[in-house]
Amino acid sequence: MSNTLLITGFDPFGDEAINPSWEAVKQLHGRTIGHYNVHAVQLPTSFERAGAVLGEAMEQIKPDAVICVGQAGGRPDITLERVAINLQDARIPDNDGAQPTDGAIVEGGPVAYWARMPLKAIRAAVLEAGIPCSISYTAGTFVCNAIFYWLMNRLAEQEGSEQMRGGFIHIPFLPVQAARYSNMSSMSINDVVKALETVIVHLNDVENTSDSAGTLHGA
């Protein structure tokens, strides 16, 4: 079987000179991992442009699955996002200087979409590989949540994509970024790449619904 997987990373934003999501996904470009030929594309950290660039890439590549990856500075582990919400509310300007507050991503769209990945089975596989990983119930309200919502909305509306896998993964800072702060979490690029490889290999696993990923704190 030869399927195509589109994986995206973002360009640097805010005070950062690099974005670990792009540093990691570009290492996967052109490789065959599990059942997939992997194609990596960079998205701009822009509310206005990110969806258009992703849409264009999907037209060209016609992927069988899409995973978007973004930086979540301060998070200590790989976080598999469970839900995308129809809200953009930016704490800092994006790379176009835009800072939308309190707006919908898709006017009149559903409040939220679930990820289309077996998150618990994937989490178990990533942990088994020795890499810290958890399920997250918020991708925030910045560009990452926006592209996640945009993707899931597109998969919901596009004919023939009922079975398509799609989702969003946040990753920590790399050590070189964390070194500029005090007490900041980080993860090595090798571990991030290995985690993403593991996600791809297990993308079509049967979900382990008896494995609770619940949290008391919502953190």
Residues designated catalytic: 81, 144, 170
Name beta bridge partners: 83. Answer: 114
* Interaction mask 19-58, ligand PCA, x per CB under 6 A: x-x-----------------------x-------------
Cβ at position 160, least distance to ligand PCA in Å: 29
Cβ at position 118, least distance to ligand PCA in Å: 23
Q: Rounded to whole angstroms, how far apart are CA atoms 10 and 217?
A: 29
Q: Rounded to whole angstroms, how far apart are CA atoms 52 and 203?
A: 25
- Annotate 173-190 with b (16+ C-beta within 10 A) or e (fewer): bbeebbeeeeeebbbeee
Considering the complex, state which of residue 1 and residue 92 has its C-beta at the smaller distance from ligand PCA. 92
- Kind and range of the H or E run holding 54: helix 50-61
Alpha-carbon separation of residue 141 from 47, 145, 184 (angstroms): 11, 6, 22
Considering the complex, state which of residue 143 and residue 155 has its C-beta at the smaller distance from ligand PCA. 143
Nearest to 24 by CA among 171, 135, 204: 171
Contact range with ligand PCA by CB under 6 A, out of 51-59, 137-145, 154-162, 182-190? 137-145
Contact range with ligand PCA by CB under 6 A, out of 58-66, 68-76, 183-191, 193-201? 68-76
Considering the complex, state which of residue 29 and residue 91 has its C-beta at the smaller distance from ligand PCA. 91
Considering the complex, state which of residue 128 and residue 180 has its C-beta at the smaller distance from ligand PCA. 180
